[in-house]
Amino acid sequence: MENKIISIAPSVLAADFVNMEQGIRKIEDASCEWIHLDIMDGSFVPPITFGHQMVKSIRNITDLILDAHLMIDNPGNQLDALAEAGADYVAVHLENTIHTDRIINRIKELGMKAGIAIVPSTPVSALSELLPVVDQVLVMTVNPGYGGQKMIPRCLDKIKQLDDIRKEYGYEYLISADGGINRETASAVRDAGIDVAVCGSSFFNAEDSPAEVRIIQGIE
């Protein structure tokens, strides 16, 4: 397998919401290029986090890639606001989106990159009609809603499947993984074929976040 360097996308779900700018600077200081934004509505998943106003506030203080993960019902209702707020990527969940193709197209029309996310119980085969058109596939390696969970190992097989399909058909989507990624699990996730690793607790709770990023990337 090629020895590529994966990108790390710290999730601000694990940051201090009172000191969000401090969290963003911590991400920048660790030389990360992505920021992961877990948007939850208390319906599709139990917690409530934030919405487009937080995205706009973060956009106002950084030029990093803003990767919005919509764990919400009726995600199509939020796309225009997220585009205006400055999101770069928007991922919606296959499990609660009926007209997924329409929403993927709308995300692109608004000038953003379109992603599709799946929970651990959803097979890769369910994505067959969308893989040719999405820019990103987000594989949840824990059940969504809460940070600090342990990775579900069988989810790595889905990453491998997606990487194999991408190579076979020449698709160009990025593969992201979210959940339980830390220095202990990073090697297995990298070997499975991801491009972007979402890290929350492992990044923000690290004594040395830049070093933690390099360890997860396999650089040291």
Which residues carry a binding-site annotation for a divalent metal cation?
Answer: 36, 38, 69, 178
Catalytic residue among 38, 41, 67, 135: 38
Strand order in the sheet with 89-93: 7-10, 196-199, 174-178, 136-140, 113-118, 89-93, 65-71, 34-40
Can 178 be counted among the known catalytic residues? Answer: yes
Catalytic residue among 41, 67, 135, 178: 178
What residues form the annotated binding site? Answer: 11, 36, 38, 69, 145-148, 178-180, 200-201
Can 73 be counted among the known catalytic residues? Answer: no
Residue 92: CB atoms within 10 A of its CB come to 26
For residues 148 and 216, give the distance between their C-alpha atoms in angstroms, rounded to a whole number.
16
CB-based contact 129:101 (threshold 8 Å): yes
How distant is the alpha carbon of residue 76 from its chain centre? Answer: 18
Element (H, E) at 118: strand 113-118
For residues 62 and 49, give the distance between their C-alpha atoms in angstroms, rounded to a whole number.
20
Which residues are identified as catalytic? 38, 178
